[in-house]
């Protein structure tokens, strides 16, 4: 909530500085779909060449993850608020975009035992019956991540009420963070101590594999309606 309030405050301040007459400010709403899911935003034209948009994107997708010793049922989720500034450098459709995204992509995972009813961590094998829970989360390292990109389409162009939109860019999510909630219920002495070390190794391995997604690509198509 504080993030949204700061963005709204910045929007009001920019509007006061850049647009002394509210009658000169144009508004639009837009719908976008692409690699960052389904999104909607509210756009304000601050000047002839500068717009700001506040948006929200959502998406979910289930898939199997088997990049480490453990196979996971994963659910990829997006539920992100954003604030982006668009600069139409030639006062036309082409624009440069920069802004911030809050609470970007994350993956909820549930570990699946092998067909033999066992888990393998760090080269050691454990019976599934000796593990009480086997779930976790992989999420972006920064709660608020920068976005940079280019695009086409001026949402508040006075000449067009409906505008086609194209966005190409990337979100720098930071080094991914992994939280694993795997519990050991074995009564065999020393097993749970070794298990804790093996889970730490599995977490480090997941974080290493997830690092290749430190930059999240954005490709969106959309339509905007000016009012």
Supply the pTM of this predicted model: 0.81
- pLDDT at residue 24, as a whole number: 62
Q: How many residues does the chain have?
A: 227
In this predicted structure, the answer to whether residue 19 has a pLDDT above a threshold of 50 is no
| Residue for token pair 């097993």 | 191
- pLDDT at residue 215, as a whole number: 92
Considering Cα of 140, then 144, then 150, then 154, what sign does the dihedral take? positive
In this predicted model, what pLDDT tens digit does every residue of 23-69 receive, in sequence order? 467 899 999 999 999 999 999 999 989 999 999 999 999 999 988 88
Give the DSSP letter of residue 212.
Answer: G
User: Are 72 and 66 in contact, with CB atoms under 8 Å apart?
Assistant: yes
Residues 91, 83: Cα–Cα separation, whole Å? 21
2-226 CATH: 2.40.160.170
In this predicted structure, the answer to whether residue 10 has a pLDDT above a threshold of 80 is no
For residue 58 the two structure tokens come to: 């959502």
In this predicted structure, the answer to whether residue 21 has a pLDDT above a threshold of 50 is no
**Domain residue extents for the chain:** 2-226
In this predicted structure, the answer to whether residue 107 has a pLDDT above a threshold of 90 is yes
Residues 110, 100: Cα–Cα separation, whole Å? 30
In this predicted structure, the answer to whether residue 8 has a pLDDT above a threshold of 70 is no
In this predicted model, what pLDDT tens digit does every residue of 123-152 receive, in sequence order? 899 999 999 889 999 998 888 999 999 999
In this predicted structure, the answer to whether residue 20 has a pLDDT above a threshold of 80 is no
């Amino acid at each position: 909530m504080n993030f949204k309030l700061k963005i709204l405050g910045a929007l009001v301040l920019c509007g006061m500085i850049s647009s002394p007459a509210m009658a000169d400010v144009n508004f639009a709403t837009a719908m976008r779909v692409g690699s960052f899911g389904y999104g909607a935003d509210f756009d304000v034209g601050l000047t002839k060449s500068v717009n700001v948009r506040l948006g929200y994107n959502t998406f979910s997708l289930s898939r199997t993850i088997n990049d480490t010793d453990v196979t996971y049922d994963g659910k990829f989720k997006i539920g992100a608020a954003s604030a982006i500034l668009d600069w139409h450098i030639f006062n036309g459709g082409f624009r440069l975009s920069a802004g911030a995204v809050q609470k970007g992509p994350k993956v909820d995972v549930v570990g699946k035992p092998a067909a033999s009813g066992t888990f393998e961590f760090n080269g050691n094998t454990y019976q599934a019956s000796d593990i009480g829970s086997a779930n976790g989360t992989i999420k972006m390292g920064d709660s608020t991540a920068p976005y940079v990109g280019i695009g086409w389409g001026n949402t508040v162009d006075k000449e067009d009420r409906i505008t086609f939109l194209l966005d190409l860019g990337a979100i720098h999510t930071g080094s991914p963070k992994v939280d694993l909630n795997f519990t050991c219920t074995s009564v065999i002495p020393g097993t749970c101590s070794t298990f804790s070390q093996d889970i730490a190794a599995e977490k480090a391995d997941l974080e290493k594999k997830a690092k290749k997604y430190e930059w999240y690509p954005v490709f969106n198509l959309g339509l905007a309606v000016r009012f």
